[in-house]
Structure 1
Amino acid sequence: MSSARPRYFIGIDNGSQSSKVTVFDAHGRAVSEGRAALRPYDTPRPGVVEHPDDDLWTSIGVASRAALAAFDGDPADIAGVGLCTIRFCRAVLKADGTLAQPVMSWMDDRVGLPYTDTNPQAARVTTSSGYISHRMTGNFRDTAANYAGRWPLDPDTWRWTDDDAEIAKLGMRRELLFDLVLPGDILGEVTDAAARHTGIPAGVPVVATANDKAVEALGCGLRTPGTLLVSLGTYVAGMATGPRNVRDATDFWVNYASVPRSYLYESGGVRRGMWTASWYRDLLGEEVTAAARAAGLSVEDHLNEEAAKVPPGADGLMTVLDWLAPGDAPFRKGTILGFDGRHSRFHIYRSILEALAMTIHDTTTRMAEELGTSYREVIVSGGGSRSDLMMQINADVHGIPVRRAEASSAAGLGAAICAAVGLGVYADFEEAVTQMVRPGEVFLPHRDNHDLYRRLEPVYRDVRDHTDALYRRTYDIFG
């Protein structure tokens, strides 16, 4: 390919709610994109949560064809594809690489247990990325950086363990496992069948990335231990990066990063994080929808605009974000407390946003203390980052500058960065991030607001000590 011609990279981001496919130029600018929602999970019995039929591959095909249809460049200038999929899934495949059974979601109880070899058609066991890699290339090859969880992977070498007894302990045999490569390595080339399904030209190289959170972090420009990334999605968590596999961590857990043999440190998080804000938005119903319409705003923008008028701290209203109870405390419920005559629907909305920021500040502070580091800036990504109010609340809570991730699909951009590095367009990940990630808007903390949130922190930290006893009692009644 002549260096005078433009080069484009496709980032595939198969997330937990949709598949997004974006075509990026060599400077990280999105030139076209497509999206397809995933279907609702099948839950045929308690503990079983599956992606119906072949939904992951089907949705990637729909999104990819939409992105290519909107691409006005020359398909011959597409240099490569970066493949990123949902983490913690498990796929059981037949000998030909097709599904022997539905893909297990990350919420399926079985993915946290040793593999049980009960399917006579099972010839391979892999992750969602391994499955999609085979559909794209025909090769049984997968990134090592998507094998957090119950897999016989040595976290220091990023290779399968040499101990067959360890593999057997996890219910597996060596012949069931895929070949492993590192992020930035070539998985193979788009097959003719995959080209027909996705619209991507046959023969285009497909490059390995990592798990979806690590690829999102790369696309946000997370590179140094002094930067914290807060991901505001259905699951809200804080992330930092570093070179050490920290064993026996107590206030965070260690994941694989998108840069080979680097690690992503993840704080405790909030399940149903931004979902809780959406739940409340929908609960308000037509009255707020009509008010937003009359103001010429989306419902989210209307809520943010009105909640911005509410004083920091929401006049004492506090939210405890247990809309989905943790496994070790199934009795917990979500709590909103502290009501008096000052409070409106917008106080409630602001209190939900503040609770998200306060919770993650608490968990990431404990992570930083255990790592022996401190943060100089925060990057915020995900759907919640589009809210100026949420960005300012995060700046005020953390007390340091907070920067919005510029990319609309940070995971897609991270996947494209892996492709650009793997194909030699950039010498290494550092150069690729410098060239392809552009900084977004920065929000600076207001000192008075930060001081208020600091005073509230110990109150938030202690709330469950008081509510747990009540919810234990009601759990026996309502479950």
Structure 2
Amino acid sequence: MSEKYIIGIDEGSQSAKILIFDTKGNIVCEGKHPLKPYNLPGPELVEHPDDDWWDAICQAGKKCMANFKGNKEDIVGIGLCTIRYCRAYLKEDGMLAQPALSWMDIRVSKPYDFSNPDAKYVVASSGYITYRLTGEHKDTIGNYEGVWPIDIDNWKWSDDPEAYKNTGMPREMLFDLVMPGDILGYVTKEAAEATGFPEGVPVVATSNDKAVEGLGTGCMGETTACISLGTYTAGMMEGKENLKGTTATWPKFSCVPNKYLYDTNGIRRGMWTVSWFRDILGDGYKKEAEAQGMSAEELLSKEAEAVPAGSNGLMTVLDWLAPVDALYKKGVMIGFDGRHKRGHIYRSILEAVALTMKKHVTDMTNEIGVKLDKIIITGGGSNSDLFMQIFADVFNIPMVRNEVNGAAGLGSAICAAVAAGVYKSFDEAVENMVRIKDTFTPNPEAVAFYEKMYPVYTNITKHTDEVLKEAYELFN
């Protein structure tokens, strides 16, 4: 019997990634294509230019399929995962009526205002890509959260007329919904020509990108959490019910039907800040790294490894993108003196991510009354041994890194594997397709230091917020 293959689509804030897996979760080949820089047409408006979502998937798909050496007829399904909290307005023919809105755009947190007469449909990012791949007016229920007329308890569009009135979205503007793991449609001839994917292959619903990522890490059970190091960095864990009235725990749709994902509060532009610092160092630093046979990130990590825990007093607050309810917030670096160099700044940013996530994860676990014994770290930042060790020391919990780093791509493939009957259940698929690569255990000396630093760090904004509120009036 020939090997079967599964395609996982993972389109995030910065790129589209297409991965082909075998049924054991091994990456066979992949393709990646960057998204264009955002358009910023006005204050708090953030748009994806042109037809960027679809174009990036087409380019990444062609790159991936060009590297595929197997038989296309052995590809049994495509799992589709796209960025959450986005919004697209489509014309009657299913094409974009205007540039798609990023999750950072303030309009996605508001009701639809009917300002575009060409808009026939309003959909999440996954709904638009589903249409481009299959021609179907369908989407996954799991990618609808925020300002949508959704019945979260019953996994469907609301039956309450007020929900449609409050969101400004009449039912006729919305696609039909399916559950994660269900088939959305089949790749059309036109889509096959554009992407390189085989015509007629089923496209399978997943969920929101964080839930898909959680599934791809094997984050299951009541004592395991996952931290996703992305443009939006957040923690998550499996939940059984749609909790009400919580302040540190945000129930979302899981990637497993009728289960929930508990989200922490997060860091807006979390790992983006790491890229920001790398980029402002300029081409000279990149060339210096290349001369030593390293990437800029690897050289920064090497320099940061020589810096002690606490970065000699340099502390960073990661408010590089203010939330809509506190627009005065800004990023802060405090504690500079003559000892501080590039490695100190870099380590301080990494420590800020870990310390901030410790607060968010602790707030969540205290609220729901659980104690963690393992945390899985996923995303590009997990490739750094230094970053993994900082997380272990800050949390004083073992940190796990999996063999497959692109967890959203693997989570997409797991959904497609279940839909194709390769595995009978999500549990069976995870057991066969997800594997731990290594574990980082806490260093007692560093743990003791971070326990003293943590209350100092979490108290910074109580003082800086007042200054930033006054400064906001001057600079905005």
**Per the shorter chain, which TM-score range?**
over 0.9
The answer for the alignment partner of 1:9 in structure 2 is 6
Aligned mate of 1:357, from 354, 362, 377 = 354
1:164–1:174 Cα contact (<8 Å) kept: no
CA distance in 2, matches of 1:332, 1:80: 44
Cα distance change of structure 1 residues 294 and 47 upon mapping to structure 2, 3 Å threshold: closer
For residues 286 and 14 of structure 1, do their structure 2 counterparts lie closer, same or farther at Cα, with a shift above 3 Å needed?
A: closer
Alignment of 1:189-200 (within 5 A): 189-200=186-197
**In structure 1, which of residues 274, 281, 288 is the aligned counterpart of residue 271 of structure 2?**
274
Q: How far, CA to CA, are the matches of 1:53 and 1:335 in structure 2?
A: 34
C-alpha distance in structure 1 between counterparts of 2:115 and 2:288, whole Å:
56
Partner of 2:381: 384
Task: Give the superposition deviation at 1:286.
Answer: 5.3
Partner secondary structure for residue 39 of structure 2:
coil
Would the aligned equivalents of 2:23 and 2:417 in 1 still touch at CA under 8 Å?
Answer: yes
Shift of residue 100, structure 1, vs aligned partner: 2.1
Percent identity over paired residues: 53
Cα pair 2:24 2:433 within 8 Å, conserved: yes
Superposed counterparts of 1:173-184, under 5 Å: 173-184=170-181
Q: Which 5+ residue runs of structure 1 have no aligned equivalent?
A: none
Q: 2:215 aligns with which of 214, 218, 238?
A: 218
Distance 1:185 1:220 in 2: 21
2:440 is matched with 443
> Aligned AA for 2:443?
H
- After TM superposition, the score normalised by the length of structure 1 is 0.96
Q: Distance in 2 between matches of 1:211 and 1:69?
A: 28
Quick one: which amino acid aligns to residue 446 of structure 2?
A: N
2:428 maps to which of 402, 426, 431: 431
Tell me how large the CA RMSD over aligned residues is.
1.5
- The whole-number CA distance in structure 2 between the counterparts of 1:335 and 1:94 is 43
- Of 319, 322, 334, 2:319 maps to 322
SS of aligned partner of 1:413: helix
Aligned to 1:18: 15
Taking the aligned partners of 1:398 and 1:428, their CA distance within structure 2 comes to 33
Distance 2:285 2:389 in 1: 23
Match of 1:399 among 396, 400, 403: 396
- Secondary structure in structure 2 of the residue aligned to 1:80: strand
Give distance in 1, aligned partners of 2:280 and 2:128.
38
Are 1:469 and 2:437 counterparts?
no
Contact 1:84 1:209 in 2 (8 A): yes
Q: What SS does the corresponding residue of 1:57 show, helix, strand or coil?
A: helix
Cα displacement string for residues 173-203 of structure 1 (whole angstroms, at most 9, x for unaligned residues): 1211111110000111111111111111111
Distance 1:237 1:300, change over 3 A: same
Structure 2 counterpart of 1:458, from 455, 459, 463: 455
Whole-Å separation in 1 of the counterparts to 2:97 and 2:422 = 38
Distance (whole Å) between structure 2 residues aligned to residue 468 and residue 421 of structure 1: 48
Q: Does 1:230 align with 2:214?
A: no
The one-letter amino acid of 1:265's match is Y
Residue 470 of structure 1 and its aligned partner are, at CA, apart by 1.9
Matched residues in 2 for 1:205 and 1:143: separation?
A: 14
CA distance in 1, matches of 2:468, 2:147: 32
- Could you state the TM-score of these two structures normalised by the residue count of structure 2? 0.97
Q: Which residue in the other structure is 2:103 paired with?
A: 106
The structure 2 residue matched to 1:337, chosen from 334, 342, 354, is 334
Taking the aligned partners of 1:469 and 1:124, their CA distance within structure 2 comes to: 43
Distance in 2 between the 1:173 and 1:468 partners? Answer: 40
Deviation at 1:208? 0.5
The separation in 2 between residues aligned to 1:106 and 1:296, in whole angstroms, is 37
Supply the distance in 1 between the matched residues of 2:283 and 2:55 (Cα, whole angstroms). Answer: 35
Match of residue 117 from structure 2: 120
8 Å CA contact 2:106–2:324 kept in 1: the answer is no
* Cα separation, 2, equivalents of 1:180 and 1:309: 52
Per the TM alignment, residue 139 of structure 1 is displaced from its structure 2 partner at its CA by 1.1
Cα deviation 1:197-218 (Å, max 9, x = unaligned): 1111111111100111111111
**What displacement does 1:254 show?**
1.8
Q: Letter of the aligned partner of 1:258 in structure 2?
A: C
Shift of 1:392: 0.3
Alignment partners' CA distance in 2, 1:237 and 1:5:
40
Offset at residue 291 of structure 1 (A)? 4.3
| 8 Å CA contact 2:300, 2:342 repeated in 1 | no
What's 2:150 paired with?
153
Q: Deviations over 1:410-460 (max 9, x none)?
A: 111110000001111101000001101111211110111111111111101
Deviation readout 1:315-366 (Å, 9 max, x if unpaired)? 2221111222222222222222223343332122111111110110011101
Quote how far apart the aligned CAs of 1:403 are. Answer: 0.8
Instruction: Pick one of 55, 60, 79 that aligns with 1:58.
Output: 55
SS of residue matched to 2:47? coil
407, 411, 414: which one pairs with 2:411?
A: 414
> d(CA) in 2 for partners of 1:79 and 1:308?
45
> In 2, are the aligned partners of 1:52 and 1:102 still within 8 Å (CA)?
yes
Letter in 2 for 1:164: P
Q: Specify whether residues 185 and 96 from structure 1 end up closer, same or farther in structure 2 by C-alpha distance, changes over 3 A only.
A: same
Is the 2:29–2:67 Cα contact (8 Å) retained in structure 1? yes
Q: Does structure 1 retain, via aligned residues, the 8 Å contact 2:14–2:35?
A: yes
The equivalent position to 1:70 in structure 2, one of 56, 63, 67, is 67
Question: What whole-Å deviation, never above 9, does each CA across 1:106-164 have from its counterpart, x for those lacking one?
Answer: 12222111112233333222111111111111111110000011111111111111122
2:278 touches 2:297 (CA, 8 Å); kept in 1?
yes
1:134 to 131, 135, 151: 131
Distance in 1, Cα, partners of 2:324 & 2:453: 27
Distance 2:272 2:126 in 1: 25
Q: C-alpha distance in 1, partners of 2:192/2:201?
A: 9
Instruction: Find the aligned partners of 1:54 and 1:285 in 2 and give their Cα distance.
Output: 30
Counterpart in 2 of 1:36?
Answer: 33
> Residue 59 and residue 345 in structure 1: after superposition, are their counterparts in 2 closer, same or farther (change >3 A)?
closer
In the alignment, the residues of structure 2 paired with residue 352 and residue 43 of structure 1 have an alpha-carbon distance, to the nearest angstrom, of: 26
Q: Distance in 1 between matches of 2:342 and 2:125?
A: 41
> How many residues of Structure 1 are paired with residues of Structure 2 in the alignment?
476
